[in-house]
Amino acid sequence: MKSILFIVLAFVSTQVFAQKIPIQILPSGHIIVKAKIDGKEGNFIFDTGGGINLFFDNFAKDLKQKSTYNFLTAYRATGERIDAPLFENNEVDFAGKKFSNVPYSTFDMDLEGIDGLISLQMFGETDFIIDFDQKEIILTDFSKGNNAKSFDIQLVTHGDKATDISTYIMLNNKYKIQVLLDSGAGKDSFWLSDKLISTLEIDTFKLETSEKKSEFDDKISTKFYKGSINSISNQYVTLENPKVSFVEGLIYEGKTSINWLGNKIGISLKNKKMYILD
């Protein structure tokens, strides 16, 4: 009887701590997930650099809350100021787990097949794994000290309404900088502050210059200087001669995608750790 009870409890425990959801990975590297927002299902970009859940107006029009006097002032990586309306969902159903009282914002944007962004903010007490090979996100619980390959992350928060993560990396095995980790950038995206051009002793005439208008305000544009550096690394991964973009007015020392860190990555906000599992 005891052995049967143990098996049942082990099964239930596995179900609780191994909730998962399939993901779609676009050619650009963006991760697409399904979630139910107050009962309405949609397709969302899973964005570790998004700060707060963001729903496009065409999706949000069917949600219960129609207006608000609350707002969140945030700044995009390029320094562009965003004054965003602030709402709260009763329930977000993601990977079989229900998250309550989740803050969100809205924006008038149309991306075919996409209803908005799912951010890190609601995962404060829920660890998860992104498996790029198996194309799934798994909700789990990392025990402190049980995973050999891990490194520290820092939380960037805004009044418990928005959460991003950052970590330290090395440039050219010499310069230590802090970078925002941004799955919403797609794959193999490496933005560095244009202030680092002189630090890295790069000849600006060898950089390709371009200018890009903001998706939020076409009156605002940002200059990009594209080239390559010798290496980007942390204690587990080294990329040789990566292509990078030095970005005018970047508010971080750097911002990178997360796919370069591994094929299977775990993130724990409560432990302030990222785990390389494969």
DSSP per-residue codes, 104-168: EEEE---BTTB-EEE-SGGGTT-EEEEETTTTEEEEE-PPTT--SSEEE-EEEEETTTEEEEEEE
> Which of 140, 167, 182 is the last residue before a domain boundary?
140
Please answer whether residues 86 and 161 qualify as being in contact, where contact means their C-beta atoms are separated by less than 8 angstroms.
yes
Between these two residues, 157 and 218, which has the higher pLDDT value? Answer: 157
- pLDDT by residue (tens digit) across 76-106? 999 999 899 999 999 999 999 999 999 999 9
Q: What CATH number is attached to the domain comprising 65?
A: 2.40.70.10
For residue 125, tell me if it sits in a domain: yes
For residue 235, tell me if it sits in a domain: yes
> Do 169 and 99 lie in a common domain?
no
> Do 26 and 116 lie in a common domain?
yes
Helix or strand holding residue 191 (H, E) = strand 190-193
Residue 1 has pLDDT above 90, yes or no: no
The alpha carbon of residue 172 and the mean position of all alpha carbons in its chain are separated, in whole angstroms, by 25
Residue 95's alpha-carbon distances to 18, 100, 184, in angstroms, are 10, 14, 19
> Do 121 and 233 lie in a common domain?
no
Here the tokens at position 193 are 């502050």
Between these two residues, 66 and 244, which has the higher pLDDT value? Answer: 244
> Do 105 and 220 lie in a common domain?
no
Residue 32 has pLDDT above 90, yes or no: yes
Please answer whether residues 132 and 116 qualify as being in contact, where contact means their C-beta atoms are separated by less than 8 angstroms.
no
For residue 240, tell me if it sits in a domain: yes
Residue 230 has pLDDT above 70, yes or no: yes
> Do 229 and 172 lie in a common domain?
yes
- Containing domain of residue 182, as a range? 150-276
The amino acid occupying position 40 is K
- pLDDT by residue (tens digit) across 118-137? 999 999 999 999 999 999 99
Residue 12 has pLDDT above 50, yes or no: no
> Which of 78, 105, 140 is the last residue before a domain boundary?
140
For residue 273, how many other CB atoms are within 10 A of its CB? 19
> Which of 140, 167, 184 is the last residue before a domain boundary?
140
CA-nearest of 175, 166, 162 to 251 is: 166
SS3 199: helix
Task: Place 14 in a pLDDT band, splitting at 50, 70 and 90.
Answer: very low
Helix or strand holding residue 101 (H, E) = strand 97-107
Q: What is the mean pLDDT of residues 150-166?
A: 94
Residue 216 has pLDDT above 50, yes or no: yes
Over the chain, what is the mean pLDDT? Answer: 91
Q: What is the mean pLDDT of residues 56-81?
A: 92
> Residue 16 phi/psi, 5° resolution?
-65, -45
> Residue 238 phi/psi, 5° resolution?
-130, 130
Helix or strand holding residue 15 (H, E) = helix 2-17
Specify the pLDDT at position 214.
Answer: 82
DSSP 170: E
> Do 82 and 154 lie in a common domain?
no
> Do 238 and 132 lie in a common domain?
no
| Least confident piece of the model among 209-213, 247-251, 256-260 | 209-213
- Surface-to-core class of residue 206, CB atoms within 10 Å of its CB (0-12 exposed, 13-18 middle, 19+ buried): exposed
Task: Place 18 in a pLDDT band, splitting at 50, 70 and 90.
Answer: low
Specify the pLDDT at position 25.
Answer: 97
Specify the pLDDT at position 222.
Answer: 92
Between these two residues, 148 and 134, which has the higher pLDDT value? Answer: 134
> Do 15 and 133 lie in a common domain?
yes
Task: Place 4 in a pLDDT band, splitting at 50, 70 and 90.
Answer: very low
Residue 255 has pLDDT above 70, yes or no: yes
- The Cα 270–Cα 145 span in angstroms is 13
SS3 5: helix
Q: What's the domain count of the chain?
A: 2
Specify the pLDDT at position 147.
Answer: 61
- The Cα 119–Cα 182 span in angstroms is 10
- The Cα 104–Cα 86 span in angstroms is 6
- Residue that the structure tokens 């939020």 belong to: 216
Residue 7 has pLDDT above 60, yes or no: no
For residue 145, tell me if it sits in a domain: no
